[in-house]
Amino acid sequence: MAQIQQGPAAQPGIITWNIDPAHSNAQFTVRHLMISNVKGEFTRVSGRVLFDPSKPESLSAEATIDVNTINTREPDRDNHLKSPDFFDVAKYPTLTFKSKRAEKEPNGLKVTGDLTIHGVTREVTLDVEGPTPPMKDPWGFTRVGASATTRINRKDFGLVWNQALETGGVLVGDDVRITLDVELMAEQPIAGGKN
């Protein structure tokens, strides 16, 4: 699991939240044959987020995605995506994101940080809806949720494999839409969560 320095946790109001892998995932959408969208997901997301619920712009986050959990509902395609033509999971088994700054927006946050895919790091900005108000689950743990989206060009990360089509164009689009849905659980009990 990705780790964050614990320095900010000493600040008043800053809470450490762990991503709950059982209730979090990352989805992607890419064009196929230039006529339709293919969607897939990574089902194992882990990491840690530090922020004060009353000041979401205090957010600092690191997340790791297990590339071996890729699922496009087509095993042959999944195996191809894991191969050296694409993610090359033998060399690069994870994708990582490490935030640099967060800015408050009317409906959430803009979180800018370093995204590393296929051993290549580029700065990206996530549009974040949330975090939601804290809620207590039936077992007494405090949780919040958030969704984040961004777009990348896969070639910027060294994912350049493609195949030309007889009619012109290419088999796989370059523009990739990424969506992260995460549920976060407070590392320590906190006051103020709703039942």
Looking up residue 26, the CATH number of its domain turns out to be 2.40.128.110
As a whole number of angstroms, the distance between CA 51 and CA 14 comes to 5
Give the rounded distance of the alpha carbon of 18 from its chain centre.
Answer: 14
Tokens matching residue 53: 């619920």
**Which of 43-47, 88-92, 145-149, 170-174 shows the lowest mean pLDDT across its residues?**
170-174
Residue 11 lies in a domain: yes
Residue 164: the pLDDT is 47
What integer is the mean pLDDT of 76-90? 87
* Domain count within the chain: 1
Which residues face 24 on adjacent strands? none
Distances (CA, A) of 131 to 103, 149, 175, 178, 188: 13, 14, 27, 18, 18
Domain membership flag for residue 172: yes
Enclosing domain of residue 98? 7-186
Q: pTM value?
A: 0.82
C-beta of residue 126 within 8 angstroms of C-beta of residue 56: no
- Local confidence band at 155 (pLDDT 50, 70, 90 cut-offs): confident
Asked, for residue 40, whether it belongs to a domain, the answer is yes
Decide if 128 is inside a domain. Answer: yes
The answer to the question of residue 194 being in a domain is no
Q: Is residue 195 a part of any domain in this protein?
A: no
The per-residue pLDDT of the chain, averaged, comes to 81
**pLDDT for residue 130:** 84
Q: Is residue 1 part of a domain?
A: no
Q: What pLDDT does 108 receive? A: 85
Q: Is residue 123 part of a domain?
A: yes
